[in-house]
Amino acid sequence: MATNAESLQPSRPRHPLVAQTEAGADLTAASAPQPAISESEARFRMLAEHTNDVIMQVNPCGVITFITPACHALMGYSPEEMIGTRVLAYSHPDDLPEIRSVMAGFIAAGPDAAPIVTQYRALRKDGRCIWIEGRPKINFDAAGAQISLHDVIRDITAQKEADAAIRRSEERFRMLAENATDTLCVMDPTGAITFVTKACERLLGYSPEEMLGVKAQDRMHPDDAKRIMAQTVEYVAAGPGAEWISIEYRSRHKDGHWVWIEGRPKIIFDAKGRPVAIHDVVRDIGARKAVEFELERAREAAEAATAAKSDFLANMSHEIRTPLTAIIGFSALLESAPELSEDSRRKVRRIVTGGRTLVAVVNDILDFSKIEANQLELDPQPFDPAEFLRGAIELVEGQADSKGLDLQLRLDAGLPALILADSSRLRQILLNLLNNAIKFTSTGGVTISADYRPDDQTLHVAVTDTGPGIPADKRERLFERFSQIDSSISRRQGGTGLGLAICKSLVGLMGGEIHIDSAEGGGSSFSFTIAAPPADAPASSDLAADGEMDARGAVAQILVVDDLAENRELIRLLLEAIGHSVQEASSGGEAVSAAVDRPFDLILMDIQMPGMDGLAASRLIRETAPLNLTTPILAVSANVLADQVAQCLAAGMDDHIAKPIQVLDFVGKVSSWIGVDRSEADIDTEERQPAIG
């Protein structure tokens, strides 16, 4: 080997490429001047010694006769170590058969053989295996015999590893794609499918081959196509930075039925921001949609049931309040008759009390229904808390006196002059607690205490009694609906069991909490807090206070409209008792005719009447009765729900008086509206919140 190498490389050898070039050159090259040859040889040597690729010459016996210094970086060997060794000694044993086969074919093809590229593994000096790529060239003499082999070799290990990683990734992707329950697909910008996984057959019944070229929108349900296309256009317009979207639509199955699917398309944009493809992950959501549809049907059924319950409660309320109007109203008039004996007067009072108790029960049921439906709204207004609490005491003084109970009010000096809260709902809470305290206390008394906490702007109220107390095991149930301490048929006290549940809900709505502190045999204390920020005094009040008589003292002409004769009679008696003149109408049609014929100072209108109801009559009066276009119209009705009151205002009415009529409230409202020209009263029917009940 050394002798052969020495014979090829004299003491100052020419580069083998130069030598090979000279050997095969024509006479013109042979006759070239010596300086030109030397210069060419120098250039070739510089290139060979400084290139990163390895340039190698091998003789016909497979022995390396020349190799450039780059072999050290590639193989770990110096040129001196590799020259004279067999080239195949550095190849991986597993690759030798293929190398020999490829090279044998290449040599056999002769001088006209097409260039080839070889890739195989080589063993470095440090034992590592690397991938190399060669571009061999066989040199032949004039007789066609092989002279030598030249090869340019480079390291392609990184490329091979990258290719292997890509293959592994593709294999993993393919495995996932072929086994995923979701369908993966690729579409061109027109929506035509260019790739789809086998899962499409489970989803839509088509094989991947049948899906290729199909546009997804062509198999989309007509009711969904327009919506999905609009979403897609918007998504494309958002550009490369758009968030991934989710779309749901129906697609036709191969057997003809519709399948609900969910897609998660991703638009692929090129460097210029143009869409070039759509990648989508599609799944069957039929089961989920079935549940959603079932839930929607259940929701609709629940809403229908709620509406039916509301209608039932409204009708029940109306049907109970209507006869109670006559019972309570005439009983109140009878109670004031001078010729009545004291015994008869006591019996009449019991009729009035029973009627009012029934009204309270109806109100509790309606309130609880509104709370359950989240339809109860608060109306915060400024009021004096001290005066408010004194008024509450006055309302229950009669009950306390009848039982010989001591009723006390303890007000903290720090109460603000005015607070902002819903006084109507606060009164409802307080009276419920006071009535319970008086009802369950036989001896001793009931005390109301109140203080203000400026740090969190809350009003704190406590109602304490000297009653029998509440057992510890029953306290937690007190605030549950339909819950009573004694629910047996032998209980001494009645009630619906809704009062405290309503109190708890109202206190919660007002931003507070309610608590009980009780000891069996030692009385009870119910305390609550509500949010009540300090308030400024209102500029003025356009309406007179409840129960205040008309200061002008003038006789008013009032039209009373009600289909029930007893209600018209009751209202007429109340109005005539305070000096007003009354004309009656038994239907909406009669009311419109009367309003067209003559002017009135006030119209009191029932709502629920056969034929033309009060709403329709009010609209016609506003439209067709010039003499009463600006006359105040007040609803006097057993329709007391919030939406019913809103309908009254929307029909052109100005206020609402609830049945059964409370005499002082009724007189106060009538007095406040007599002489008011609604065209000058700055009436806002959307903002007005008339008292209900």
Q: How far is CA 290 from CA 247, 303, 415, 613, in A?
A: 17, 20, 59, 45
Q: Which of 357, 391, 411 is the last residue of a domain?
A: 357
Do 323 and 433 sit in the same domain of this protein?
A: no
Query: CB under 8 Å, gap of 24 or more: what pairs does 439-443 form?
Result: 439/493, 440/465, 440/467, 440/468, 440/493, 440/524, 441/403, 441/405, 441/465, 441/466, 441/467, 441/523, 442/403, 442/467, 443/404, 443/405
- Do 201 and 284 contact (CB within 8 A), yes or no? no
- Answer whether the bond into residue 222 is a cis peptide, omega within 30°: no
Give me the pLDDT at residue 527, please.
93
Q: Can you tell me the distance from the alpha carbon of 553 to that of 373, in angstroms, rounded to the nearest whole number?
A: 45
376 belongs to a structural domain? no
For 363-416, strand residue ranges (E) read 381-383, 406-411
Q: Can you tell me the distance from the alpha carbon of 415 to that of 381, in angstroms, rounded to the nearest whole number?
A: 17
Percentage, residues of the chain above pLDDT 90? 45
Do 484 and 564 sit in the same domain of this protein?
A: no
Give me the pLDDT at residue 677, please.
61
Do 209 and 147 sit in the same domain of this protein?
A: no
43 belongs to a structural domain? yes
Residue 16 φ/ψ, nearest 5 degrees: -55, -35
Give me the pLDDT at residue 555, please.
85
SS3 185: strand
pLDDT band at 22; cut points 50, 70, 90: very low
Do 415 and 486 sit in the same domain of this protein?
A: yes
Give me the pLDDT at residue 40, please.
64
Give me the pLDDT at residue 307, please.
75
Percentage, residues of the chain above pLDDT 70? 83
Tell me 89's DSSP state. Answer: G
Do 304 and 275 sit in the same domain of this protein?
A: no
Span 535-552, pLDDT tens digits: 887 654 443 333 343 434
pTM of the complete model: 0.48
Do 194 and 312 sit in the same domain of this protein?
A: no
pLDDT band at 396; cut points 50, 70, 90: confident
Tokens of 577: 């008792």
What does the mean pLDDT of the chain come to?
82
Residue 630 belongs to domain spanning: 557-673
Do 386 and 350 sit in the same domain of this protein?
A: no
Q: Can you tell me the distance from the alpha carbon of 356 to that of 328, in angstroms, rounded to the nearest whole number?
A: 7
544 belongs to a structural domain? no
pLDDT band at 13; cut points 50, 70, 90: very low
The CATH number for 624's domain is 3.40.50.2300
Do 393 and 273 sit in the same domain of this protein?
A: no
Residues written for the chain: 693
Do 430 and 510 sit in the same domain of this protein?
A: yes
Give me the pLDDT at residue 122, please.
94
Q: Which of 255, 284, 313 is the last residue of a domain?
A: 284
Span 554-599, pLDDT tens digits: 689 999 999 999 889 989 988 998 899 999 999 999 999 999 999 9
Whole-number CA gyration radius for the chain: 51
623 belongs to a structural domain? yes
Q: Considering its fold, how many domains does the chain have in total?
A: 5
- Do 580 and 600 contact (CB within 8 A), yes or no? no
Do 111 and 241 sit in the same domain of this protein?
A: no
Span 50-91, pLDDT tens digits: 778 999 999 999 999 999 999 999 999 999 999 999 999 999
Whether residue 114 is predicted with pLDDT greater than 50 in this model: the reply is yes
The CATH number for 216's domain is 3.30.450.20
539 belongs to a structural domain? no
363 belongs to a structural domain? no
Do 451 and 402 sit in the same domain of this protein?
A: yes
Whether residue 494 is predicted with pLDDT greater than 70 in this model: the reply is no
Work out the average pLDDT over 196-213. 92
Do 224 and 300 sit in the same domain of this protein?
A: no
683 belongs to a structural domain? no
For 114-211, strand residue ranges (E) read 118-123, 129-134, 137-140, 146-155, 183-187, 193-196
Work out the average pLDDT over 221-238. 90
367 belongs to a structural domain? no
The CATH number for 413's domain is 3.30.565.10
pLDDT-wise least confident of 151-165, 278-292, 542-556, 629-643 = 542-556
